Amino acid sequence: MFELETGPAGLADDAAGIAVRDMITLADWRRRLYELYAYVRESSDAAHAWRVWRNRRDALFRDHPQSPYSSSERATFSGLSYFPYDPYLRHLVELVPIERDTPETQSLRDDGEIRLEPFARTRGLRTALGGELVVYWIAGYGGGIFLPFADATSGKETYGGGRYLLDGIKGADLGMKDGRLVLDFNFAYNPSCAYSPRWSCPLAPPHNRLRGAVRAGERMP
């Protein structure tokens, strides 16, 4: 699934050595994302944190061996495309518990099925967005909060399968403030499958499709 070009010295270039490098570089990719989102949560200036987030993501996509882009694409990469920062699309929302429901199950090409367990609904999104969202817990070891969504821009200005706002497994967590969940749509990003068919990703469920247009965050690749 992942393309590797560099790795720790001393590892043989056989299948086992490549697999080890794959795991090490993937762990490094995730570590860097965790550190980046920790910086975002600690920043008192959301717009500045967003600019740092953009710059560091560009660096990862350009330079890191776990980039969704191939080596030839990285050679000409000039940065990801985003809408301008819009402070109006930063929300603090309450989480309203919902009764245990049938998990949303999606099949991923290389990783089997993933189960998304709905556990809360948001309350507090502005009316212009045209709805509220379901927040999921990713079932399995460790788990994590997961919030994919689609909107009126999906398939036109943004990736048709929707974008991610929160993904606890990858460290994409904007935190809490005053007991409410931070949903800043300026930090919405495309799943890796938007860039390459080598990836398969869970997509936004039908009930997480906002009727309004969210012109914030990452645009069509």
> What's the whole-number average pLDDT of the chain?
88
What is d(CA 90, CA 126) in angstroms, rounded to the nearest whole number? 10
Task: Give me the pLDDT at residue 9, please.
Answer: 42
Please return the burial class of 183, using the count of CB atoms within 10 Å of its CB with bins 0-12, 13-18 and 19+.
buried
| Residue whose tokens read 């000409």 | 76
Please return the burial class of 13, using the count of CB atoms within 10 Å of its CB with bins 0-12, 13-18 and 19+.
exposed
Interval 126-161: pLDDT, tens: 999 999 999 999 887 778 999 999 999 999 999 999
Asked if pLDDT for residue 219 goes beyond 70, the answer is yes
Q: What percent of the chain has pLDDT over 90?
A: 68
What is d(CA 3, CA 121) in angstroms, rounded to the nearest whole number? 38
Tokens of 39: 């910086």
Asked if pLDDT for residue 17 goes beyond 70, the answer is no
Task: Give me the pLDDT at residue 101, please.
Answer: 66
> If pLDDT is split at 50, 70 and 90, which confidence band does 171 have?
very high
For residues 168-189, give the mean pLDDT: 96
Torsional sign, CA 215, 54, 52, 131:
positive
Q: What is the DSSP annotation of 4-59?
A: -----TT--SSHHHHHHHHHHHHHHHHHHHHHHHHHHHH-S-HHHHHHHHHHHHHH
Task: Give me the pLDDT at residue 145, please.
Answer: 95
For residues 184-202, give the mean pLDDT: 90
For residues 186-201, give the mean pLDDT: 89
Give the global pTM. 0.88
Q: Would you call 189 helix, strand, or coil by DSSP?
A: strand
For residues 4-11, give the mean pLDDT: 38
Task: Give me the pLDDT at residue 111, please.
Answer: 58
Asked if pLDDT for residue 51 goes beyond 90, the answer is yes
Asked if pLDDT for residue 11 goes beyond 70, the answer is no
Asked if pLDDT for residue 191 goes beyond 50, the answer is yes
Interval 63-115: pLDDT, tens: 999 999 988 999 999 999 999 999 999 999 999 999 876 677 765 656 567 78
